Every structure is written in C-alpha cells, then in structure tokens.
Chain A
Amino acid sequence: MFTFTVRRLLFAVPTLLAISFIIFALLDLAPSDPLSDLPLTIPPEVREQIRLAMGLDQPFIIRYFKWLQQFFINEPLNIFEQITGITVGSGERMRVLSWATRSPVVDLIVQRLPQTLWVVGLSYLFGVLIAIPIGVISAYRQYSWFDQIGTFVSMVGYSVPTFFTGVLLIVVFSSWLQWFPSIYDTTLVVNSWDSFILQVKQMFLPVLVLTLFNVSQISRFVRASMLDNLNMDYVRTARAKGVKEKIVLLVHVLRNSLIPVVTVIALGVPTIFSGAIITEQVFRVNGLGQLLITAIQGADIPLVQTLTFIFAILIVLFNLIADVLYGILDPRIRYE
C-alpha cells in the first residue's frame, strides 16, 4: 500500500506539470482580454503601457516558466517565511500577482477559502448526513411512498439548476417574507449570540440550495448501492441464520454499500474547494467560486491559472485518497 501511494504521488508530478501547461496554453489562446473592462475613454497608447506592465509583451514560454517559478518556488518560500518567521535570501521575490487587483493571488485565495468551506462545506456535510438515511430507507422500502417521494425530490433537486432555485428562494424568503437576507454580508464578525444568529440566517439560503443539490446526488448513489447489496447471497445467509433485520441492514448491507459511496464522496470533496460558482454569485458569498468567475470575466489570467491549477492538484490528490480508502475499506482489493 505504501509503495503504491508513493508511486502514485510520483506519477502525479508529471501529470500536474502537463495540466499546468495545458491550462496556461488554453488561457493564452483564449481571446478574452484583461483590458476589456476598461472604459473606452482610455486611449490605445495607455492601454499598451498597461499591457507592458502586466508583462504581456513577453513570449508565451517565458511567461509560463515565470509562473512556474512564482508558483512552485516563490509562493511556498513565502508561506514558509510567514509561518516560521525566517527570511530566506533577500525575502524579495516576485509573487503571482492578479491583474485585476494587482495583489498576490495566494492572499486572495486565503481570504476567500473560509467562506467557501463554511457555506459549501457545510452543505456537503448536511448533504451526506441527510442523503445516507434517505438512500437506505428508499432502497429498503423500494417503491414505497417514501421512495417515490424521495425519487421525485431528488429528480427535482438534481435537474433544476441552482441559479433557478437560488433566485426562487430569494424571491420567496427575502422579497416576500423578508425572513432571510438576499445578500451575504461578508463583513459580519461573529462575536456574540446575535451576530451568530445573523450568520446562520445569511447562510441558510445558500446552504439550503446546495444541500438540496448534494442530497439529490448522493442519496441516489446510496439507494443504488444498497439495492445491489440487498439481493446478495450473504444477506439471505444472514437472515437465514436468524440475525436481526436491523443488524442485517445497518451492519451487513450498509457497510458493504458504503464502499462505492465513500469513493463518490471523496471524489466530490474538490468541488467544495472550487466552490459553488453559481450559488456564490447569486447570494454574493465571497468564496472561491465567485473569485474564479469574476477572474474569468475580467480575464485575470494569473488568478484563473492559479485557481484552476490548485483545483487540479486537489482532484489528483482526492483521486488518490479515494483509491487508498477503497483499499482500506474493501479487504478484497490490494494494491501491490
């Protein structure tokens, strides 16, 4: 298992380098322009100066290697310095700078990460916690009214896009009932009971929208996996031995059914970090998803490049984790 993990990690390095190059090339070939948001009153000569200051006059390959150096050497060194307080070399090195804000990309990401983890992470957690019981009951009582309703709700949750449910909830709960704010107050500091209530209130709608989506998705997996296992021979054997129905279901069947579900959940974790782009935009949650979409719209290429690359790292990493978990959970699988 250990050698397998090490081998996979080593393989990840060339994979990620290739990914970073492809992202960089794609972004460079894309026709969007960082100056397109500027008023037309800014004359062409000035635009040229701005382009030069962004380093856009340099050849593609040089810009790519510069980014590599900034991302893989300068930024880790900077984090190391901040944590330990030790200055390496002169301490002055070029960091990955966003074109729109002209500030270090990593600082932006660090600033946005907590909101995404809270809102999207919480909805993922709720999604898992709600989906498993629903999936289990739906499968155990297949075609019962509970299963039918569950299927209907998850179909709705899965097929109706979040930009629709989000706006619908705003119209109902913010405009009509005025129970919840429609705009996430990102300056709120939770330091008292009242501010905590406010925080819960403003997180309610976005978390609800995303939880609905996650529940729909995961409960389907749980149900399908449970159904596969309920018809297995070992279940019949357990029942024939006189094992209680509760133990058959929750110990024998559920444990075996969760193996593929755990993989699905692990593979879904990177999506937490990439944020829920649409939901964050609708509720104005200042998370990573919103950061990414504004960066794409404004053609803030260093920011898009760095964010997508971090997501790529997470996806590669969680694929590995899913594989390893599989090996741990299922004794039949051994990697050598």
Chain B
Amino acid sequence: MASTLLSRYACPPDRYDEMLDEGGRVRPHWRQLFRHLESADAAGMSQRVEVADRWIQEDGVAYNVYADPKGQERPWAMDPLPLVIAAEEWRGVVMAVTQRARLLNAMLSDLYNGQTLLADGLLPSALVFGQHGFLWPCIGARPPGSVFLHQYAVDLARSPDGNWWVIGDRTQAPSGAGYALQNRLIVSRVFPELFRDMRVQHLASFFRELQDSLEHWAPVEAGERPLIVLLTPGPYNETYFEHAYLARYLGYPLVEGQDLTVRGDTVYLKTLTGLKRVHVIFRRQDDDYCDPLELRGDSALGVPGLLVAVRAGRVLVSNALGSGLPGSGAIMGFLPAIARRLLGEELLMPSVATWWCGEKPAREYVVDNLDKLVIKGAYPTQRFDPLFGRELRGAARADIVRRIRARPQAYVAQELVNLSQAPTWSREHDQSLLARSVGLRVYAVATPQGYQVMPGGLSRVAGGSNALVLSMQRGGAAKDTWVLADGAVSTFSMLKRVIGARDVVRSGSNLSSRVVENLFWFGRYAERFDNAARLLRVAVSRFIDNAGETTPDLEAVIELCILAGIVEPGRKDEDDPWVPVGTRLSAAIFDTSASSSLASMIRQVLWSASQLRERLSLDHWHSLSRLQSDLQIAKGVRPALGETLMFLDRVLQVSSSLTGFSMDNMTRDNGWRFLVVGRRIERLGFLAAALGDFLTSYPKQEDLGLDWVLELTDSIITYRSRYSRQPELLAVVDLVVFDDSNPHAVIFQLQALLRYVERLARDVGEVPVDALLAEEEILRNFDLADFETGPDEACAALAAHLGRLESAAYGLSDLLGMRYFTHVDIVSHQILAS
C-alpha cells in the first residue's frame, strides 16, 4: 500500500530510482529504512531533523560559498536520510574505483616520466602541454613508491538503466571526505538503532589507512617520527571547515604557506621553539600555488623552494604536485585505450560520453548536437561555468560555436546524464519524501597494498526536482551514504595505536608561530569584549534605573565609556546635534559599522577563533556560535533597553564559559600560556585605564562613581561582606587595586601576568618585563595612608602609576609580537626583465 510517505514522491519513467523498483516496490536494501520512517511519528521525526540542523549549526559545519573576505559562511546543508547501497553492488563500485585510481596514477607517472602515452599518440599533447595543470618543473620527479595520487575522488552518477557512470575525477586535492565523516557522525546520531541494525560499514578505517600510508611513504631518517602537516590556503577557502576538521581528526598541525619555510632542500615548520623538519605535506591547496619560486609567481600562499625539496625527495607532498592533470574531463574519451596500454585491462566503469573538441570529427559532432550536450572547459584551471546546449539561443549559441571553433582544444562536451533520484526528507510537509537527483562522490586512498575505497562517501542531492547540476553552491544538499555490510561490521574507530613510553609527547612542540599568535589575540579579543560588555552593562543598567534622567553618576560612567572609546561623545562637533544617551548606548552595542562597538568586538573574537578552529574544542564552538546567533537576531531590530540588558547578560555568560573552557579544558602548553598572557594583558590594560580615569575624575565627582567601580570589577559582593556599608574611597581602592586576593584587582592581574610570562620564558627564552616589574614594586609599596592625608593628591599619584602600568602592559604585547610571532614580512617576487 502506498503510504503517505510517498504521496509527493514522483517517479518519472526515464530515471532510475534508488529506493523504488520499476514496479514501485521498495528495493530490499531500503526496506528497513523505509519501514522505520513509516512507523516514526511525525513530531519525533521533525524533532530529529531539527536536532541534526542544530548539530551542524553548533559544530560550525560550514561551506564558504565564495572566497569572501568578510568570512561569509553558510551552514552545510544536509538531508538526514542516507543513500543506501547494497553490499553486492558496492563490490562492483570498489573494483571500478580502485582500477580507475590505479589507471590515473599510472598515467601521471607516465606523463612526468617518459611520456610514452604522447609518443604513441594515445593522448593529445594539447591536453598535457596546453594545461596549466601540467607542472613543467615536476618533470622527472618520482614520488616515493611512484604514488602521485594518495587520495582520489570520483563523482559517480547512475543512468536510467541502473548502471553507474563516472562523471568527474578529482585528483588535485579532493575535498569532501571530511564532510562525509561529519555527515556520518550526525546521521548516525539521528538514526542510532537503524544505523546499527542495518549493519552499515564504518568509515574510520579509511582515515587510518590514509595516516598509515602517509607515514609509510614519509622520507624519514632512521629512528625519526614523521612530522605531517595539513596545508590549507586559509580561512577564506570554501572548504576551510573541512581542513580544520580533518586536521583535528587526524592530529596534524594545520598550517598555511607562511608557516613553512624551505632551507636548502628541506622543509621546516616555524614553531615557537625554532624550525622543525616537515616530512609530509598533506595539501588542500592547488598545486600551482604551492611554490612561487618555480610555479605561479603571483601566489602569496605558497612555500618558496618547495619544488627543490620535492625533487630532492626530502618531502612527500600528497597529492604529488602536478596531479591535477587528469581532472580534465577532456581525457575521459582517451581512458579506455590508455587502460589497455598501461594496465592491460578494460575499463570497468565507463565515463560519461565526452567529446574533446580538439579532434575535428568530435568538434563537428558537438556543434551539430549542442542540444543534447553540456559544454565545459577542457582545462580544470579555466574559469568557465558549464553551459547547457539546450538553454543556449540566438547570439549566445552563435558565440559559443565561434569560441569552440576558434580554440577547439579548450572545450569538451559531455552528454547530459539523467541522474538517478533518491528520497529526501521534506521539511515543508509532514511525513513526506521528495524525489531529488542524486550523485555520489567516492574516495580512495593509496596504501602499500593498493588502493582502498572508503565504504561510503559524499552523496549530493540537487536543490530542485529537475536540477541538472549537483552543487553545494547552488542550493543542493549533502547526504550520508550507507554501504551495507555482508557479514559483521568492522567496528574499528580511530583508536590510538599503541604508543610506547618513549613516544609520549608532553609539549605542543609543533605549535606554529602563527597558531601561537592567533591564540594570543584570541585571548586579548575575548577579554576585550568581556570588559566592554561589563562596562556597557553598568551604563545601561544605570540608564534604566534613572528612568532616562541624566544623573552625575550616569554621566561619570558614560564619560568613562567615552574615554575607553566604546561610546560616542554626545556631539562630535559643536555644530552637530546632540545625540541622546540611549541612542548612543544602543549603537555602542549593536552597530556593526563602528569598529569599537561590542558587536564588532564579538566579530573579532569569532574571526580569531575561526583561525584556530582545529585548536578549539566543540564546546568552545557551541558558545561562540550562540554568541553569533544572538548578534544575528539583534541585527534586524534594535532591541529595547530592557532586552539589551538581557543581551549583555547573555554575552557575559558566554564570555565566562569561554574563560572556563580556556582555564579548565585546554592543555597547558605554551600556546595556552600565550592565550592567557593575552587575556591578562588586556584586562590589566583595561583595569589600569578605567581606574586611572576614575581616580582622575574623583576630586570632581567624589563618591558618585564608587558603586560602579565595584560593579565594573565584579567586587560588590566582596566589598559588602567585608564592610557592610556604603562604599568609601580608601576601601574601594584597596579592594580593586591593591588586594592581591581579588582576581579583579590590578595587582592580582599584574602578578598573574608576571607569573605566566616567567613560566613561558623557561621554554622560549627571556621576555623583557622590567617596566612591569618596576610598576609592581611601586604598587606594592604604595602607602594607602596617603588617601587619608590628601585624597586628591593620592588619587592623582595613583592615576599616574596606573597610566604607566597601562602602557607597560601594551608594551609587553608589542614585544611579544616582535619576538615570537610570524613576521608577515613583505614577500616580494623578483623577476628580471630582458
């Protein structure tokens, strides 16, 4: 009987349906899932979908749609229903994919050593010499084990007759395996019983094989453990989430080009404690950007001299530099003959019919049959969006024909594939499945025993029911892929292998200088927004208490906010109209266009956190993403003052949970010390400035500001429990400046800072802190009795000390920067004209 599940599920006759057979019956390997969905109650399912969405949101799974400097991220779109594949069918896929991986690897090996394929006319030279992806300086380079492709991904589609076809090869730095893993973690949590009962094959062994292989081929000296790094182009890249995710999962330092340096023919990581030799670079960066010395000179991302190290066999780059070549669809038509030549085998899985226009008969066919074809660039580096022939009319059609005839070798045409369809869960309707086009990306990894295929993969469904293109950029979604097991499921997970006592690593010795710098600034920014939020909360609550009236103590707080650069003055020029305090406070909190606003500070925190993704725990992320969504909500309508106060409370809660994570959950390595030092410097600077301003204005304002000084330093409770009376100057100053048991006192912060710096100095060398030490001495010897004899003079003297302390604190920040952080010195490219 047709359940309500299928009431909206269309089955056009010209497409293969993954779930239903020709008679509309559920295929055997889908039955368990289908029955589960039928019996699940509507509310329960929508709740699960929501939970899955929230995981994606909170884990920060994102896909940057464009390399946008504003860091525009879009949450990863995922459909909770997996694509199910039967065990027997999968065996065929595995055979075909491993064969293709072997073939493309052998082809690369030939093209960089000997080029018999060109000499024998099995491949046109236009598709090798004409490709920017063919890297001339790599000719003759033989990677260890002759493996060019350590990782290989292939896009598969199923035609109406039920056969799988290859529609694309990914050989450069295949992306998506990390997303597949993330999808799996989420979907298996959405359907935990089903996942177990259906005997779905696990993914973890694939990543273990990848690690083993990289270690196996790493060019190490005897007794050396290989240092493997993951090279990313950085946070602007569309799959940066995945880079950070994989780095964390595999335990590899995530590095950018500037973190590495080549000395002679050896690659090193710049760490806090000096240069560390790198043996393997697992790269997620396109190869032509990898070495500005010999490849693209305009690359700011690469490692100058890398090719020297590669040719000398001193570093393994995975995939090998130059492996992007077979990513061109243009070679597909040549593969059957190449397979016969290089492997002596017939190709097990066909490629989608492809015509390279560089051959005359193919070109004429393409021009005559445009309606049936999709036109693509022949070179992966070409910026050319696929064009669907049947959508081209008039001038556009004439134009593409002209372009093809003018430079035929730059174009290929592919037959349109009627993709198969799979069920997705409808978010708009109750208990409904929708049919969507689906494609599958499968991953293989080279091992010394041959290629191994990930039992699963990244399935992608199109955004609409008739969409021709599967693209995460165009509103599509990803799916988990469940490959069913024949027998027992191997429950291997990424457990650590046995580590001997001498392998134990205690320090984060592979901390790159850049990571350390980011941790330091993360600490400073996190503290900065906390300080600002505290100050603004004092101001807003005073403002509300006074019911809009201006009182001297409110003015004093506002004045401090203005001095701290957080709130704008009432008027900038004498001629300007007066801006009411309420408006200014609201702007100071929510106005993202003002760089000093709380909203902007939160953005800075989020930004520096995003540079540290692989170092921060998921809990950290959850707090940060909550902060971001709070801010997002406030973006639309500026909340009323009461709600603003609640917002500030929430911000401070998140802030203190961040502090908690930093203090309780992070390993106390030198990176962590830099984070804490950053926090201390910021708080010390802020306290010194705020209290200095307060003391300077004290003779004028007298006791008016004492309450908010206590509030600002979170010291009200302590004060009350000690004195049970109205705040008085001497006692307040003692508590917030001189009391070394109060964590919000100046001296406490100063001494803590000095302790951390001293501990740091043991590992990384001396840090000059003379100025801070001198101030500490002065503070310790300051005579509180001065406040009895001449309060005004005492205020002025202490304010002056605090001013010097503030500059000493920020001075230390500069010193640390100069000494330990990556100097992003200007890299320039010299090239001599004729």
Determine if chain A interacts with chain B: no
